[in-house]
Amino acid sequence: MQRLTPMGAMILSLLREGDMHPYEMVRLMRVRRDDRLLTLTNGTLYHTVARLQRAGLIDEVGSDREGNRPERTTYSLTDAGRDILIAWLRRELSTIDRPAEFRIALAEAHNLERGDVLQSLRSRRVALDEEHIAYRDGLIDARRDGVPEQVLVEYERQEALLEAELRWLDALIARLEAEDLPWGPAAFPNSERYRAQRKAAQQ
Protein backbone atom coordinates (compact mmCIF):
# COMPACT_ATOMS: atom_id res chain seq x y z
CA MET A 1 0.00 0.00 0.00
CA GLN A 2 1.20 3.52 -0.85
CA ARG A 3 2.37 5.24 2.35
CA LEU A 4 0.10 8.13 3.26
CA THR A 5 1.18 10.92 5.59
CA PRO A 6 -1.26 12.84 7.80
CA MET A 7 -0.94 15.85 5.47
CA GLY A 8 -1.62 13.58 2.50
CA ALA A 9 -4.72 12.21 4.21
CA MET A 10 -6.03 15.72 4.84
CA ILE A 11 -5.46 16.75 1.22
CA LEU A 12 -7.24 13.67 -0.10
CA SER A 13 -10.10 14.38 2.31
CA LEU A 14 -10.40 17.92 0.98
CA LEU A 15 -10.54 16.66 -2.59
CA ARG A 16 -13.42 14.35 -1.68
CA GLU A 17 -15.39 17.57 -1.23
CA GLY A 18 -14.57 18.72 -4.76
CA ASP A 19 -11.78 19.73 -7.10
CA MET A 20 -9.42 22.35 -5.63
CA HIS A 21 -6.14 24.09 -6.25
CA PRO A 22 -3.48 24.06 -3.49
CA TYR A 23 -4.05 27.70 -2.55
CA GLU A 24 -7.69 26.93 -1.80
CA MET A 25 -6.63 23.85 0.19
CA VAL A 26 -4.32 25.92 2.39
CA ARG A 27 -6.92 28.59 3.00
CA LEU A 28 -9.68 26.11 3.73
CA MET A 29 -7.49 24.21 6.19
CA ARG A 30 -6.72 27.47 7.98
CA VAL A 31 -10.37 28.54 8.04
CA ARG A 32 -11.19 25.20 9.64
CA ARG A 33 -8.30 25.50 12.10
CA ASP A 34 -6.70 22.28 10.86
CA ASP A 35 -3.37 23.73 11.98
CA ARG A 36 -4.35 22.52 15.45
CA LEU A 37 -3.80 18.98 14.15
CA LEU A 38 -0.55 19.34 12.19
CA THR A 39 2.02 21.92 11.19
CA LEU A 40 0.64 23.66 8.13
CA THR A 41 3.01 25.40 5.73
CA ASN A 42 2.59 26.23 2.07
CA GLY A 43 5.80 24.41 1.24
CA THR A 44 4.78 21.18 2.94
CA LEU A 45 1.35 21.23 1.35
CA TYR A 46 2.64 21.89 -2.19
CA HIS A 47 5.30 19.19 -1.77
CA THR A 48 2.66 16.72 -0.61
CA VAL A 49 0.38 17.61 -3.53
CA ALA A 50 3.24 16.87 -5.96
CA ARG A 51 3.97 13.56 -4.26
CA LEU A 52 0.30 12.53 -4.33
CA GLN A 53 0.14 13.34 -8.03
CA ARG A 54 3.25 11.28 -8.80
CA ALA A 55 1.66 8.37 -6.91
CA GLY A 56 -1.50 8.60 -9.01
CA LEU A 57 -3.68 9.51 -6.04
CA ILE A 58 -4.70 12.90 -7.48
CA ASP A 59 -4.86 14.28 -11.02
CA GLU A 60 -4.60 17.69 -12.63
CA VAL A 61 -7.94 18.73 -14.09
CA GLY A 62 -7.14 22.26 -15.23
CA SER A 63 -5.38 25.52 -14.51
CA ASP A 64 -6.37 29.16 -14.49
CA ARG A 65 -4.87 32.58 -13.98
CA GLU A 66 -6.79 35.50 -12.48
CA GLY A 67 -5.36 38.99 -12.85
CA ASN A 68 -1.76 39.20 -11.68
CA ARG A 69 -2.02 36.06 -9.56
CA PRO A 70 0.20 33.06 -10.36
CA GLU A 71 -1.35 30.29 -12.41
CA ARG A 72 -3.28 27.85 -10.24
CA THR A 73 -3.52 24.15 -11.02
CA THR A 74 -6.70 22.40 -9.91
CA TYR A 75 -6.60 18.80 -8.74
CA SER A 76 -9.13 16.01 -8.50
CA LEU A 77 -9.17 12.85 -6.39
CA THR A 78 -8.58 9.62 -8.31
CA ASP A 79 -10.20 6.29 -7.50
CA ALA A 80 -6.85 5.11 -6.12
CA GLY A 81 -6.69 8.19 -3.92
CA ARG A 82 -10.16 7.55 -2.58
CA ASP A 83 -9.35 3.91 -1.83
CA ILE A 84 -6.12 4.67 0.02
CA LEU A 85 -7.80 7.43 2.04
CA ILE A 86 -10.57 5.09 3.17
CA ALA A 87 -8.04 2.38 4.09
CA TRP A 88 -5.91 4.91 6.01
CA LEU A 89 -8.89 6.25 7.95
CA ARG A 90 -10.08 2.76 8.89
CA ARG A 91 -6.61 1.75 10.06
CA GLU A 92 -5.82 4.90 12.06
CA LEU A 93 -9.21 5.01 13.76
CA SER A 94 -8.64 1.52 15.14
CA THR A 95 -4.97 1.97 16.13
CA ILE A 96 -4.09 3.21 19.62
CA ASP A 97 -0.32 3.78 19.36
CA ARG A 98 -0.36 6.76 16.93
CA PRO A 99 -2.29 9.52 18.73
CA ALA A 100 -1.45 12.29 16.21
CA GLU A 101 -2.71 10.21 13.29
CA PHE A 102 -5.80 9.22 15.26
CA ARG A 103 -6.78 12.87 15.80
CA ILE A 104 -6.60 13.52 12.06
CA ALA A 105 -8.45 10.30 11.25
CA LEU A 106 -11.17 11.28 13.71
CA ALA A 107 -11.42 14.76 12.20
CA GLU A 108 -11.81 13.20 8.74
CA ALA A 109 -13.87 10.17 9.78
CA HIS A 110 -16.96 11.71 8.16
CA ASN A 111 -15.44 10.49 4.87
CA LEU A 112 -16.34 6.96 5.96
CA GLU A 113 -19.76 5.41 6.14
CA ARG A 114 -21.26 4.93 9.59
CA GLY A 115 -20.68 1.17 9.58
CA ASP A 116 -17.00 1.59 8.74
CA VAL A 117 -16.53 4.07 11.57
CA LEU A 118 -18.29 1.83 14.05
CA GLN A 119 -16.21 -1.18 13.07
CA SER A 120 -12.95 0.73 13.45
CA LEU A 121 -13.94 2.36 16.74
CA ARG A 122 -15.07 -0.96 18.21
CA SER A 123 -11.67 -2.43 17.36
CA ARG A 124 -10.04 0.60 18.97
CA ARG A 125 -12.16 0.10 22.08
CA VAL A 126 -10.97 -3.48 22.50
CA ALA A 127 -7.32 -2.40 22.33
CA LEU A 128 -7.90 0.56 24.66
CA ASP A 129 -9.67 -1.61 27.19
CA GLU A 130 -6.78 -4.09 27.21
CA GLU A 131 -4.28 -1.29 27.74
CA HIS A 132 -6.41 0.28 30.48
CA ILE A 133 -6.68 -3.03 32.33
CA ALA A 134 -2.90 -3.48 32.13
CA TYR A 135 -2.31 -0.02 33.64
CA ARG A 136 -5.00 -0.45 36.28
CA ASP A 137 -3.70 -3.84 37.37
CA GLY A 138 -0.13 -2.57 37.26
CA LEU A 139 -1.04 0.21 39.68
CA ILE A 140 -2.74 -2.23 42.01
CA ASP A 141 0.31 -4.53 41.99
CA ALA A 142 2.76 -1.64 42.46
CA ARG A 143 0.88 -0.28 45.47
CA ARG A 144 0.53 -3.74 46.97
CA ASP A 145 4.29 -4.13 46.63
CA GLY A 146 4.89 -0.82 48.40
CA VAL A 147 6.17 1.16 45.42
CA PRO A 148 6.35 4.84 46.48
CA GLU A 149 3.44 6.90 45.16
CA GLN A 150 5.69 9.65 43.83
CA VAL A 151 7.14 7.33 41.21
CA LEU A 152 3.68 6.23 40.11
CA VAL A 153 2.21 9.61 39.19
CA GLU A 154 2.85 9.25 35.44
CA TYR A 155 1.47 5.72 35.49
CA GLU A 156 -1.58 6.96 37.39
CA ARG A 157 -2.15 9.76 34.88
CA GLN A 158 -2.05 7.36 31.94
CA GLU A 159 -4.53 5.02 33.59
CA ALA A 160 -6.89 7.97 34.20
CA LEU A 161 -6.55 9.16 30.58
CA LEU A 162 -7.32 5.70 29.24
CA GLU A 163 -10.37 5.42 31.48
CA ALA A 164 -11.60 8.84 30.30
CA GLU A 165 -11.09 7.97 26.64
CA LEU A 166 -13.02 4.74 27.08
CA ARG A 167 -15.97 6.69 28.51
CA TRP A 168 -15.83 9.17 25.62
CA LEU A 169 -15.50 6.38 23.06
CA ASP A 170 -18.45 4.46 24.52
CA ALA A 171 -20.59 7.59 24.25
CA LEU A 172 -19.57 8.19 20.62
CA ILE A 173 -20.22 4.58 19.64
CA ALA A 174 -23.65 4.74 21.29
CA ARG A 175 -24.53 7.91 19.33
CA LEU A 176 -23.43 6.32 16.07
CA GLU A 177 -25.33 3.11 16.81
CA ALA A 178 -28.50 5.05 17.66
CA GLU A 179 -28.13 7.02 14.41
CA ASP A 180 -28.94 10.28 16.19
CA LEU A 181 -25.66 11.72 14.91
CA PRO A 182 -25.84 12.76 11.23
CA TRP A 183 -23.01 10.98 9.42
CA GLY A 184 -21.33 10.31 6.11
CA PRO A 185 -19.86 12.33 3.23
CA ALA A 186 -23.27 13.74 2.28
CA ALA A 187 -24.26 14.87 5.78
CA PHE A 188 -22.90 18.41 5.65
CA PRO A 189 -21.95 19.76 2.18
CA ASN A 190 -25.09 21.89 1.78
CA SER A 191 -24.84 23.63 5.13
CA GLU A 192 -24.43 27.41 5.18
CA ARG A 193 -21.23 27.10 7.20
CA TYR A 194 -19.73 24.72 4.65
CA ARG A 195 -20.62 26.99 1.75
CA ALA A 196 -19.19 30.02 3.56
CA GLN A 197 -15.91 28.21 4.24
CA ARG A 198 -15.51 27.17 0.60
CA LYS A 199 -16.32 30.67 -0.61
CA ALA A 200 -13.81 32.26 1.78
CA ALA A 201 -11.10 29.80 0.72
CA GLN A 202 -11.67 30.53 -2.96
CA GLN A 203 -11.04 34.29 -2.66
Burial 145-159 (b: 16+ CB within 10 A, else e): eeeeeeeeeeeeeeb
Element of type H or E holding 53? helix 42-54
Nearest to 49 by CA among 30, 26, 32, 68: 26
What is the per-residue pLDDT across 127-170, written as a single tens digit (0 to 9) for each?
A: 999 999 999 999 999 999 999 999 999 999 999 999 999 999 99
d(CA 94, CA 169): 12
Domain 6-85+187-202, CATH class in plain words? mainly alpha
96 DSSP assignment: S
Give the CA distances from residue 186 to residues 80, 103, 138, 163, 192, in Å, rounded to whole numbers and listed in that order.
20, 21, 45, 33, 14
d(CA 50, CA 55): 9
**pLDDT the model gives residue 90:** 96
Element of type H or E holding 77? strand 72-77
Question: Is the pLDDT score of 1 beyond 50?
Answer: no
What is the per-residue pLDDT across 147-158, written as a single tens digit (0 to 9) for each?
A: 999 999 999 999
**pLDDT the model gives residue 62:** 82
Nearest to 121 by CA among 173, 184, 162: 173
Map out the domains of the chain as residue ranges.
6-85+187-202, 113-178
Question: Is the pLDDT score of 186 beyond 70?
Answer: no
**pLDDT the model gives residue 203:** 60
What is the per-residue pLDDT across 51-106, written as a single tens digit (0 to 9) for each?
A: 999 999 999 998 776 655 667 899 999 999 999 999 999 999 999 999 999 999 99
What is the per-residue pLDDT across 91-139, written as a single tens digit (0 to 9) for each?
A: 999 999 999 999 999 999 999 999 999 999 999 999 999 999 999 999 9
**pLDDT the model gives residue 191:** 61
Q: Is residue 74 classed as helix, strand or coil in its secondary structure?
A: strand
